[in-house]
Amino acid sequence: MSEQQASLLLRRQLTELHRNPVEGFSAGLINDADIFKWEVVIIGPPETLYEGGCFKAHLIFPKEYPLRPPTMKFVTDIWHPNIEKGGNVCISILHEPGDDKWGYEKAEERWLPVHTVETILLSVISMLTDPNSESAANVDAAKEYREDPAEFKRKVARCVRRSQEEI
């Protein structure tokens, strides 16, 4: 797929999200001149520790989209087992397509060209609802999630408060 085709596909997805918003997130461009760089705001899912938070993240799409996945990085501080301390999101559908060289993920769990911005963000919302502490990107958060849930909750609550102040 060419860069031009990727650009057209991303424009269609952005238009569709503006025409038919999906509950739980909003999406737009970081800079109107670059369709490959998006800013999203994820609303903390109801009845989770993240409820009430407004977490900004960037989705950066490769020129080979949709054959290759975007990267996603939270720019709002967030404490979660599947989000690196620097904000990079680590979930299966954002991993390069094909077999996992370590054998943790099946090829069908990884990036597939059928994924859209909507399916990516719904997966991230699901990840916030149900962290996977067995496959951690942030080992400290995963350990705390399992072994000291009260401290984990306190740190997440602090992130939620800060996210509300940044709006």
Catalytic residues: 90
Structure tokens at 106: 């099946």
Dist CA 141 CA 130 (whole Å): 14
Candidates 41, 38, 50; CA nearest to 82 is: 50
Side chain identity at residue 120, one-letter code:
I
Dist CA 77 CA 79 (whole Å): 7
Give the per-residue SS3 of 105-141.
CCHHHCCCCCCCHHHHHHHHHHHHHCCCCCCCCCHHH
Dist CA 81 CA 150 (whole Å): 15
